[in-house]
Amino acid sequence: MLSEHTLVSSHEKNAPGRKIIKARITFMLCANASGTHKLPMFVIGTVQKPRAFKSINLSVCYREQKKCTRVLFLDWFHQEFVPVARKHFLSVNLSPKALLLLDNCLGYPSAEEL
């Protein structure tokens, strides 16, 4: 979490020579109810090639975007969630049906679109 506070004198809006960091990262985590099957973390950031991920092989799905959009979520849903969930269900001999619980973010599509 990035700090939103900087110590400055009462008559200054920002510290001299500094500007407020606006970079933010969105994480989306997905797992089954028991926690025995976890999908790779979905990370949305504003940098195309983050230095933190340089020379590190993390099992995350990273997308460069300002925020989670409907198109970005649908891409994750169809390219990441559905194939991985289907493969897991088949490996444990269950019917391939899943319930995905989401909050009320405007970037998520309606149930009819999925």
- What would the pLDDT profile of 83-103 be if each residue is shown by its tens digit? 999 999 999 998 888 888 888
Residue 2 falls inside a structural domain: no
- Asked if 72 and 65 touch (Cβ cutoff 8 Å), the reply is yes
Residue 42 falls inside a structural domain: yes
Give the mean pLDDT of 28-44.
89
Give the mean pLDDT of 7-21.
61
DSSP E strands, the chain: 25-28, 41-45, 60-64
Give the number of domains in the chain.
Answer: 1
Predicted TM-score (pTM) above 0.75? no
pLDDT at 103: 82
Identify the CA nearest to 87 among candidates 100, 101, 98: 98
- Asked if 43 and 27 touch (Cβ cutoff 8 Å), the reply is yes
Q: What gap in Å lies between CA 65 and CA 27, rounded to an integer?
A: 12
Quickly count: other Cβ atoms within 10 Å of residue 81's Cβ: 19
Res. 65: pLDDT tops 60: yes
Q: Domain range holding 68?
A: 25-113
pLDDT at 63: 85
